[in-house]
Structure 1
Amino acid sequence: MSVLVGKQAPEFKASAVVNGNEIVEGFSLDQYKGKKYVVFFFYPADFTFVCPTEIIAFQERIADFESRNVAVVGASTDSANAHWKWLQTEQNEGGIKGVRYPLVADQSLMISTAYDVLAGNFDYNDEGNDVFNGTPQAYRGLFLIDKDGIVRHQVVNDMPLGRSVDETLRLIDALQFTEENGEVCPANWKKGDKALKATQEGISDYLSHKH
């Protein structure tokens, strides 16, 4: 798997559904550069089982992301029309109606490939024709991108394993704390906890207070 941490997030332009009901062309994360942090996450497919629990969970906490100046953007290999239909379907009928953040359509599989979360790969058959081996869906990848467009955190789960919104918010808090204060965040750090200076004296001071 590619490690994108410390690198510019791969750029793309694609169709997306925004505000829960509007299909737009040429959607790009570039619109957030210099303005917002981005949580960009992939999920396997529309109209499935684990996926709506994650997508709705992010929406339910959207105010927490917005208060941290973070844009949330989802993506799968479904079409924009499939996204739109799912967004119009009531939640008690298996839909995600009420979700307002953008959902990107990666039908070409190129975005999932660029972020190296595609569950399969392109190859050639004996006749020299393009074929796809595996499942043309994305694993549950999540990327925290800073305001300069640099990936600062990534995690990739297999398809049955849902992600934690609380952990995502914790990592955003840690990143923003280190940017603002110059200190580093130890294991299990959460907002309001003591951090430490990246020196031996700083570590000793932190451990002495912890114990």
Structure 2
Amino acid sequence: MATAVGKKFPNLAVDAMNELGDTFKVNVLEEAQKNKKKVLLFWYPKDFTFVCPTELHAFQEALGEFEKRNTVVIGASCDTPEVHFAWLSTAKDNGGIEGITYPLLADSNRNLSEVLGILDIASETFNEETETYIKEGDNVTYRATYLIDEEGTVFHEGVNHMPVGRNVNEFLRLIDAYAHVQSHGEVCPANWEEGKEAMSPDAKGTAAYLAKN
């Protein structure tokens, strides 16, 4: 699987759903370029599952922080718009995602997720004991996350296996770091956070930073 980092995000329009029950098209590349905003796109395996709603609510709780950073949040899975709306209409205390206000891509034809290479593609293996083929994989996506800048270029890509949820604060940190690079031309060392010292992108800058730290 080739990385998307440093490349333009795929120019594809995908069905989407919001909390009002509206179905519309979203082109992530255009969301970035036309609106001059950063985009955080996070994929989760499936509606009405277990780790997934905790992540969707965590991104919702941090939505104001992303907005402060001129960043649009978009969720995505391979479910249909109708299934998204059913989940959006299900109360949080019943495992639902009622209250989520950002759009959810419904990549049910798997056009975008296949281009990105993030599908857990179903395959068949032959079981010699039963002499039958066993289907493996659900043809759903891993927990993939993309950060895209105002020009439509991917500056972060990360993929988690299904059981492992994401840390939303880390994406805020990555956005802060990239914004610092954009504004100041410096580079951000390990564990950098907003307000901490960055480095000049040369050998002297590295030496000076390491001498202090």
TM-score (norm 1): 0.91
User: By how many angstroms is 1:121 displaced?
Assistant: 5.8
**1:169-206 residue CA offsets vs partner (Å, 9 max, x unmatched):** 00000000000000000001111110000111111111
Alignment of 1:7 with 2:10, yes or no, is no
2:147 and 2:155 in contact (8 A); partners too: yes
| 1:208, distance to aligned residue in structure 2 (A) | 1.5
Aligned mates of 1:209, 1:73 — CA distance in 2: 40
Which amino acid is the alignment partner of residue 159 of structure 2? V
Q: Which 5+ residue runs of structure 1 have no aligned equivalent?
A: 124-131
Q: Which residue of 2 aligns with 1:27?
A: 26
Two-structure CA RMSD over aligned residues (Å): 1.5
Q: Structure 1 residue 133: deviation in Å?
A: 6.5
The whole-number CA distance in structure 1 between the counterparts of 2:44 and 2:150 is 23
Q: Deviations over 1:14-70 (max 9, x none)?
A: 22112x223223222213314110001100000001000001000000000000000
Q: Which runs of 5+ in 2 are unaligned?
A: 125-134
Contact 1:15/1:23 (<8 A) preserved: no
SS at the partner of 2:192?
coil
Q: Distance in 2 between matches of 1:146 and 1:122?
A: 35
Identical-pair percentage? 42
The amino acid across from 1:27 in the alignment is V
Q: Does 1:90 align with 2:97?
A: no
Q: Say yes or no: does 1:189 pair with 2:192.
A: yes
Matched residue type, 1:173: D
1:78-97 CA-partner distances (Å, limit 9, x unpaired)? 00000011011110001011
1:59-98 to structure 2, matched below 5 A, reads 59-98=60-99
Task: After TM superposition, list the pairs within 5 Å mapping 1:59-208 onto structure 2.
Answer: 59-120=60-121, 134-208=137-211
User: In 1, Cα distance between the equivalents of 2:25 and 2:171?
Assistant: 27
What is the identity, as a one-letter code, of the residue corresponding to 2:33? K
